[in-house]
Chain A
Amino acid sequence: MYRPKPSDATIGRLAMSNQLLRVNGISAGTEDKPILHDVSLEVGSGETHVLMGPNGAGKSTLGHVIMGDPAYQVTDGTIVFDGTDITEQSADKRSLAGIFLSYQAPVEVPGVPLYSYLRTITQKRPELKMTARKFRNRVGEIAEQLDMGSSFLTRELNVGFSGGEKKKIEMLQLLLLRPKLAILDETDSGLDVDALSVVSRGIEAYRKDCDGALLVITHNTRILERLTVDRTHVMVQGRLVAEGPGSLIDDIDAHGFEQFEKASAGGEA
C-alpha cells in the first residue's frame, strides 16, 4: 500500500552516495498561479521512478521546474542535483550537468538541420568528445535502433514530423547525450502501438547502456509495462499525496486516482 508522504524511512533508504536528485519542499508556479505545493522527491542514481496523477495535477510542471523552465518561478524549496544546489541555475547548465527533459510536444525549429543540431549539442559536452566520423556512426547506430530512416537526419529539427517521429527524435537525443537523469514528460501520449514500442526500446536502451536514472511522467501505465519501476509517486493538485513501490501502479491501474483525489480533498478540508 502507499503512504501519504515520503517517510523518514524512505529518505534513509537512499544512501547519500546514491542520491542523484533531491527535490526539497519545492513550491512553484507562474506569476499569478501557484501550482506546486511543498513537493519533495528523491531519485537515486540508476533508479526508475514514475510520477502519476490525473490531468492537471502539476506533473509536467514539476518536470519543467527540475529542468529550469523560467516560465515557472520557484517560491520555496531547493533542488539538489549530483550534490549541487541547482535551484537558481539556468536550463543549459542543468542540461550540461546531466538532466534531460523529453517534452510532451517538442518544438519545431525551422531551418536547423537535425544532424548539425545533434552535432552542436553533443559538442557542448567534453565527456562526449568524438571525431566527426565516430559521431556519424554513433548517430546512425541509434537511428537504426529507433527505426529511423537516414532521411530523418537531413530534415529540419522536428519540422513536419508526426507526433511519434518527434518522440523518436527525443529518444535519439536521450541516447546520444547519455544524461544521468532523464525526465520523460508524457512521452507515451499520442503514440500508436508501433511508435510506443520503439520508444520503449529507446528507454530500455537508455537504462541499460547509460545506467541513467528515469523519472517517467505519465497518466497511463502502458509505457511502464517493460520497465522495472523502483518507486511510484502520485501527484494530485500540485501535491505529492502518495509514494510506494512499483506495485502501486497496478493498484492505480485497477482503481484509478479517485482514492488519492478523495484523500487529497479530505486532507485540505
Chain B
Amino acid sequence: MSERTQNRTHVDDVDRSLYDFTYSEEGYERYDDGLTPNIVRAISQKKDEPEWMLNMRLAALDTYHAKEMAPNWGPSIAGLDMDHISTYVSPRTKQAKNWDDVPDDIKNTFERLGIPEAERESLAGVGAQYDSEIVYHNMREEVAKSGVIYTTIEDALHDPQWEPVVHEYFGTLIPPADHKFAALHYAVWSGGSFVYVPEGVTVEYPLQSYFRLNAEGAGQFEHTLIIVEKGADLHFIEGCSAPKYYEANLHAGAVELFVKDGARLRYSTIENWSKNMYNLNTKRARVGADAKMEWVSGSFGSHVSYLYPTTILAGDRGICEFTGITFAGATQDLDTGCKVILNGANTTASVDTKSISKDGGCNTFRSSVVVGRRAANARCSVSCQSLMLDDISCSDTIPAMDVRNATASVGHEATIGRISDDTVLYLMSRGCSEAEARTMVVGGFANPVSKELPLEYAVEMNNLIKLEMEGAIG
C-alpha cells in the first residue's frame, strides 16, 4: 500500500506529437545568426519599409546593444545565446488569401493545428504566421464591409491610408527602450497583425492570429497592433506553438492594444510553445474612459517565460479583467503575472490567476498594482491560486502594490494547494483511475479559465491539460 501512495505523486510526461512535428526549412530564406545593422537593414529593405521604420529599427538596435543583459531577477536565460538565434527566417512564399495557395507543408501544419477548420466555423478572420512571415490572411467579407481592418503591419505600412496610423501608434505603448528584449523586438520585428475597428462597430466573431515557429534556433518577433475605436467591440485570439528542438528558440513579440472610450477588447491567448522556447513577450493595453479590457491567458509551453500583460486604465471608470492560467511541467520555469495601472477615477481591476506545477516545474506569479493619485475610488482585487501536484515542483507568489490614493481599495489573496488524498479516494471509489481522478481535479481547477474561452479553445485547453496529465499511474 505504501507503494501505491508513492505512485500517486507520479504523472508521466506528455506525448506532444500533436504539436511536435516539423517540416524542412529547405528553400527558405534564413538570415545569418546574430545582430548587426546589416541584418536589420536587410529585413527593412526586404519589407520595403518607410524611412522612419528603418530608423526606428536601427535606433532600437543601438538601445539593445547598450542595455545590460536583462532580466536578471527571474528565471535564468543563460541558455539563450543571441549570437546563435536567427532573427529572420522567411518561408519562400507570398502571403495568401486562400489556403489552397499556401504551400503544402505549411498548409498541413495549420491543418493539423485546426486553424482552417476553426476559421470556417467560428472566426471572423484569420492570420497565420510561419516563422517570420504571415503566410495567410483573410477576413470575412461582411466584417471587411463594416470597415474593420485586419492585416499585417507590413501591408498597413504600404497603404497610404494606414501608414500614418501605424506611424502614430507603433511603439508608443511599448517603447523600444522599455527593456532589452523590447529593443531587440523593434530592431528585428517581422509579421504580426494590424487591427483597426472603427467607432461603434461590434465584430461579432473573434479574429485570430496563429503564430507557428518552425525553424530551429530561430526567433519570432511579431508585432500586434490593435486599435478599437470608441464604443467598438472586438475579441481577438492569439495562438502559438512550435515543435521541440534542442537548440533554443526565442519569442520576443510585442502586443500594443488601444481601447478607446466606451470600447471593449477581449484578448485571449493559448500559448503552447515547445519546451526549448524562451518566451520574452511584452503585452500592453491602454484603456480609455468607460472602456473595458479583458485578458484571458493560458500559458502551457516554453522553457522560460517572462510574461506580464499590462493594462493602463487611463480614463475614468475603465475596467480590467484578467483571467489566467499557467501550467509548468518538467524543465519549465514560468514567471508570469499581470500589471495593472489604475490612473482614472472609479476604475476597477480584477485579476484572477491560477497556476499548476508538476514534475519539478516552477511557477512564479508576479503582480503589480499601481493606483495613481487621481484614481479616486479605484478598486482592485488580485487572487492567485496555485496547485502543486508533487513535492519537487515549486510555486511562488510575488505581489506588489503601490497605492497613491487614499480612497482606493486594493486586495490580494493567494492560496497554494495540493490534490488531497481524500479527493483522489472519492473519485477512485466511484470508478475513476488515479490518473483520471487527478486530471479531473486539475481540469476543475482550470475550469474558471476555460469557461472564459470560446468553446473550441476551451476544448484545446482541456486537451492540453489531459496531455500534460496523461500517463499510466499505478
Contact = CB atoms under 8 A, between A and B. Distances in A.
Interface in B398-451: 420-423, 425-434, 436-437, 440-441, 443-448
Given A95-B428, A101-B429, A120 B440 contact: yes
Given A69-B425, A91-B428, A95-B428, A111 B445 contact: yes
A92 B445 contact: no
Contacts of A112: 440-441, 443-444, 447
Interface string A81-113: 000000000111011100111010011011110
A97 to B, nearest CB: 10
Interface string A166-188: 00000001000100000000000
Contact of B426 (A73, A107, A110): A107
A119 B426 CA distance: 16
A74 interface: yes
Contacts of A92: 428-429, 431-434, 437
Interface stretch (B1-9, B233-241, B243-251): B1-9
Given A73-B2, A121-B430, A109 B425 contact: no
Contacts of B426: 103, 106-107, 109
A104 to B, nearest CB: 11
Given A109-B444, A112-B440, A120 B423 contact: no
B432 A67 contact: no
B423 A109 contact: yes
Interface residues of A, number: 33
Interface string A123-158: 011000000000000000000000000000000110
Nearest to B446: A111
Nearest to A176: B430
Nearest to B422: A107
B474 interface: yes
B459 to A, nearest CB: 13
Contact of A117 (B1, B434, B440, B445): B440
Q: Which interface residue of A92, A94, A95 has the most chain B CB atoms within 10 A?
A: A92
Given A73-B1, A92-B433, A107 B420 contact: yes
Given A92-B429, A92-B437, 15 more contacts: A68-B428, A69-B425, A69-B429, A70-B421, A72-B1, A90-B428, A91-B428, A91-B429, A96-B431, A99-B429, A106-B426, A111-B444, A112-B444, A112-B447, A121-B432
A71 interface: yes
B431 A90 contact: no
21 contacts: A67-B425, A69-B425, A70-B4, A70-B421, A70-B425, A73-B2, A74-B1, A91-B425, A91-B428, A92-B437, A94-B429, A95-B428, A95-B430, A107-B423, A110-B447, A111-B444, A111-B446, A120-B432, A121-B432, A177-B430, A177-B431
A182 to B, nearest CB: 12
Contact of B431 (A111, A121, A157): A121
Interface of A: 67-74, 90-92, 94-96, 99-101, 103, 106-107, 109-112, 117, 120-121, 124-125, 156-157, 173, 177
B2 A67 contact: no
B448 A70 contact: no
A185 to B, nearest CB: 11
Q: Across chains A and B, which 5 residue pairs bring their CB atoms closest together, nearest first?
A: A111-B444, A111-B447, A112-B444, A91-B428, A124-B431
B425 A71 contact: yes
A46 to B, nearest CB: 22
Contacts of B474: 90
A99 B429 CA distance: 8
A72 B2 CA distance: 10
A261 B5 CA distance: 35
A233 B437 CA distance: 34
Contacts of B431: 92, 95-96, 121, 124-125, 177
